[in-house]
Each structure stands twice: as structure tokens, then as C-alpha cells.
Amino acid sequence: MASNKEEVKVFGMVGSPFSTRVEIALKLKGVEYKCENEKFGNLSDTLKNYNPVYKKVPVLVYNDKPISESLVILEYIDETWKQNPILPSDPYQRAMARFWSNFIDDKCMNDVRKACFTFDEKEREKSIEETKEALRFLENELKDKFFGGEDIGFVDIAAVIISFWISPIEEAFGLKLFTSEEFPKLYNWSQEFNNHPIVNEKLPPREILLTFYKGRYEEHFGSK
Amino acid sequence: MASNKEEVKVFGMVGSPFSTRVEIALKLKGVEYKCENEKFGNLSDTLKNYNPVYKKVPVLVYNDKPISESLVILEYIDETWKQNPILPSDPYQRAMARFWSNFIDDKCMNDVRKACFTFDEKEREKSIEETKEALRFLENELKDKFFGGEDIGFVDIAAVIISFWISPIEEAFGLKLFTSEEFPKLYNWSQEFNNHPIVNEKLPPREILLTFYKGRYEEHFGSK
């Protein structure tokens, strides 16, 4: 079958916050794309060939060239389709956007993971506190409606994992990490962001995430 | 004392590959800067105020604004001082440069760390193999004199940790990870890169690294 080189393809997975990031960015840009949904635990050879290093979603393919890693893909999207920029134009503001997006992946998500999967009660409490400290940095960083100002930007898209994924994770693992009392600005932002029509369209059903994370819980701790 | 806002300052540390990255990039750009050397284990309050999130070097300060995280700083440098670009102009090539630089930090360095600090012999062997697999990706990626082509680019600067740091780490921990027989292209690149006059000027004395990593070894495994 002849493939259309100009076609934009996203190899994603239903329920992956990382492929959701890519889809939100493309939608915000108004770029038409085709989504190939990979199956958890049974990735296609095409995906593995496109991302031989990490063998995971998302991969964006454009002009027959594959790009992996969601934040790298977001930068590529912003440089390739210049309408509705997601990164600011000022170099310092761009640096800050990159810093906070990396912070979400390197710090927040690691802390959440530790809070979820630590057996030792005391260690678990410590990880919960560390997660909250990390969220506090984001709470203080939020100056406007969105991290990107009046419009959705790079950090907002990166933070979808906080706006939408933390809640089912909390429910599945029996944790409280992100409450409106402790993080009022971040909580309002998450509502605003999740309800933005483009974001809302690309969010997976919460039920799928809940089932997935309950499965992870049982795998790790055994059935309740 | 009045500070000069226009002055470029690097808060670094002798022996840190991450602050060395920043210094190499500034030198390649011909940007004058002042270096404040922090002490390992005894960071200044100024540094901690500039980088409250991670409390570590490097931090670049320009126009009184601090930026942390070496790869974020490299992008900022490239966007602020446009001479001698370190990132390619093509969006796809830029994405690849970002991908491989992240790969060095997220994959290679984690693998090296595991290979160094794992007690279990079998696990250690596994980590050594994983490190070599990671280096093989870089070996295959090297198409020209430098990762950046004929000139030093973003990935080369990120990879200083491989060109110069791996050897004293290997010696201190009694490992063999990166040999000229297994990685001939990467090995030649490392020689070429380390001997580039600008790079060479910014590399710390090997003896300092060896002493530092021998200390880490003894801390972890006890004296030989």
C-alpha cells in the first residue's frame, strides 16, 4: 500500500499521557493526523522499528521520519507548524518552559511513582510529602490562567499528566496527593485545562485509566 | 557591590561534566563569562537561591535571571547568542539532537551509574552490557567527524561526559565499558573532541576526577 509521505502519523496508546500530549499539540495547531493505537504489552514491529532505543509510544512520523519522546516531539511540532505557538518567543521564557516540563517528568512523575509503589509505610509517607513539595513549585509557578499565559502552552500540555492522570492514580493506589485545598491555583488550572474543548476531546475515558492503575496496584501489592 | 546585569555568570563546579558543558558552549560562542566555583557538599546560599528546585550546578545567570539544568542552558545559549550555532537549523535534525542528548543523560548515565554502584555481580554484569548497548546506539549515530557534522554541536557537548568522564570512572570502579576495539568511531570522536582547543581548555585535570570517583567507590564498597 502506498503511504502518503506528507501524512502526519502518531503512534500512540489509549490512556498514555505522553501520546495525549502529542495529540493535544497537533490539535491546537490544527494539524490533521492519523493515529495508530498500539496495544499495551504487545507493541507492533513498526513501532519498535521507529523507536528502537526505547520501544515505546509516542512516535510521530512525518515525511517518513520518526521522532520519539513526547517533549522532543512537542518542540518539533512547534518548529514545524508555526501557527498557535506553544513555546514563548523570548529565550528566557522558553528556557523556563523547558525547565518546568522536564521537572514534571523527572521530578513530579518520579515522586508519584515512588509514592505509589513503595511498600514501607514511612518511606511512602516521605514520597507523598516529596510529591506535594514538587506540586507546590508548580502551584507557585502558575501566574495566569494557564502556565502559557492566556493560552495553553508547552508546560500546560506537559502537565496533562497532573491535570488528568493523578486523580485516577490516587484512587487506584489509595493516596491523596493533589487536593484543591492544598493547591487551589493548580486545581483551578487543572479544571480549566481539562475542560478546554481541544484538551477535553483528546482525554481518554477516566474509567480506562482507573482500571489500568488498579491493575498495576494489584500486580504490585496483591488483591485487596 | 554593584553587579553588572549584562555580565554572564556560570555557577559551576570543578569536575562537573554538567557545568563543563555550559562553559564549552559559551567558549564556542565566544561569550565572555565569569565562573563562580561551588564546593561539593557545601553549596553557597546564592546557588541554592538561584536553583531552589534541584540545588545543584550549573546555573547560568544573565540579566539577573537564573537558568538551571545543563541541556536547558545550552538551548538558551544557542537562542541568545546566535553565532556559531550548536543546534542544526532543520527541525528534524534539531529533534534528533535533543533526542540523543536526552538519551545520554537519561539512558547512558543511568546505565553507567548502575554498572558502578551495583553490589550483585550478576546485576553488575547486566548493567555493563546495558551500558555497552547504549554506547552502541551512539556509535551507530556517529556519521561525521562530530555528532554535529564538521563542527562541534549540541550532542557533542552533551557527550563530554562520555568523551572525558567515563575513563576515570572506569579506572576508579574497575570497569571496562568504553574501549576503542568495541567502539572505534566513538573512541576516535572522543579523542578528536577532547583535543579540540576550546574543549581541551575547559576539561578539568583527569587526576581530580579520578580522586573524586575513587572516593565514591570507597564510600560505597569500602576500602580495597
What ipTM describes this predicted complex? 0.96
Residue A22 located in a structural domain: yes
CA distances from B9 to B32, B149, B162 (A): 9, 29, 26
When CB atoms are compared, the residue of A65, A79, A103 closest to B53 is: A103
Same domain for B196 and B117: yes
> What was the pLDDT predicted at B134?
98
| Contact across the interface for B92 and A103, Cβ inside 8 Å | no
Rounded to whole angstroms, the Cα distance separating B20 from A77 reads 30
The per-residue pLDDT for B224 is 56
Does residue B130 sit within a domain? Answer: yes
pLDDT reading at A1 higher than 50: no
Length in residues, chain B? 224
Interface residue A167 vs chain B (CB under 8 A)? no
**Structural domain span for residue A182:** 91-221
Q: Is the CB of B67 less than 8 angstroms away from the CB of A103? A: no
Do B109 and B67 lie in a common domain? no
Residue B178: inside a domain: yes
Q: Are residues A120 and A217 in the same domain?
A: yes
Q: How far apart are CA B186 and CA B93, in angstroms?
A: 20
Using DSSP bridges, classify how beta strands B65-68 and B59-62 pair: parallel, antiparallel or unpaired: antiparallel
Does B99 contact A at CB distance below 8 Å?
A: yes
Instruction: Tell me, yes or no, whether B58 and B37 share the same domain.
Output: yes
Confidence of residue A51 (pLDDT cuts 50, 70, 90): very high
| Cβ contact B10:B36 at 8 Å | yes
Q: Are residues A25 and A134 in the same domain?
A: no
Query: What pLDDT was estimated at residue A195?
Result: 98
User: Where residue B57 sits, what CATH number does that domain have?
Assistant: 3.40.30.10
Largest CA distance in chain A: 58
Give me the pLDDT at residue A4, please: 73
Residue A86 falls inside a structural domain:
no
Q: Are residues A103 and A191 in the same domain?
A: yes
B102 part of contact set with chain A, CB < 8 Å: yes
Residue A13, in any domain of the structure = yes
DSSP 3-state of B33 = coil
What average pLDDT does chain A have? 96
Q: Are residues A101 and A142 in the same domain?
A: yes
Amino acid A6: pLDDT: 84
Helix/strand/coil (H/E/C) assignment for every residue in chain A: CCCCCCCCEEEECCCCHHHHHHHHHHHHHCCCCEEEECECCECCHHHHHHCCCCCCCCEEEECCEEEECHHHHHHHHHHHCCCCCCCCCCHHHHHHHHHHHHHHHHHHHHHHHHHHHCCCHHHHHHHHHHHHHHHHHHHHHCCCCECCECCCCHHHHHCHHHHHHHHHHHHHHCCCCCCCCCCHHHHHHHHHHHHCHHHHHHCCCHHHHHHHHHHHHHHHHCCC
Q: Are A8 and A33 in contact (CB under 8 A)?
A: yes
Asked which of B40, B56, B80 is the last residue of a domain, the reply is: B80
Residue A2, in any domain of the structure: no
* Tens digits of residue pLDDT in A73-102: 999 999 999 999 999 999 999 999 999 999
- For residues B154 and B65, state if they share a domain: no
Mutant choice from B77, B99, B135 vs A, greatest count of A C-beta within 10 A: B99
Q: Which residue of A has its CA nearest to B81?
A: A91
A177 in a domain, yes or no? yes
Tell me which of B47, B80, B113 is where a domain ends: B80
pLDDT in tens, A13-50: 999 999 999 999 999 999 999 999 999 999 999 999 99
* Mean pLDDT of each 10-residue bin along chain B, 224 residues long: 77 97 98 96 97 98 97 98 98 98 97 95 95 98 96 98 98 96 98 98 97 95 77
Q: What is the pLDDT of residue B123?
A: 95
Mutation site for A-interface testing, chosen from B98, B108, B109 by largest number of A Cβ within 10 Å? B98
Q: What is the CATH number of the domain that holds A153?
A: 1.20.1050.10
Asked if B99 lies within 8 A of A68 by C-beta distance, the reply is yes
- Name the domain count of chain B: 2
Among A53, A69, A91, the residue with its CB nearest the CB of B76 is A91
User: Do A167 and A197 fall into the same domain?
Assistant: yes
Name the residue among B75, B28, B11, B12 with its Cα closest to residue B201: B28
pLDDT at residue A2, rounded to an integer? 47
> Measured between beta carbons, which residues in chain B are less than 8 angstroms from residue A52?
137
Give the residue among B179, B164, B151, B178 at the shortest CA–CA distance from B209.
Answer: B164
Name the A residues in 115-154 with CB < 8 Å from any B CB: 137
On whether both A111 and A43 belong to a single domain, the answer is no
Contacts of B67 in chain A (CB under 8 A): 92, 95-96, 99
Q: Considering B27, B45, B80, which residue would you say is the last residue of a domain?
A: B80
Within a domain: A1? no
**Domain identity same for A122 and A16:** no
Is the CB of residue B187 less than 8 Å away from at least one CB of chain A? no
- pLDDT at residue number B3: 59
A97 and A177 housed in the same domain: yes
The predicted-structure confidence for A162-195, as pLDDT tens digits, reads as follows 999 999 999 999 999 999 999 999 999 999 999 9
| Residue A204: C-alpha distances to residues A208, A221, B93 (Å) | 7, 26, 32
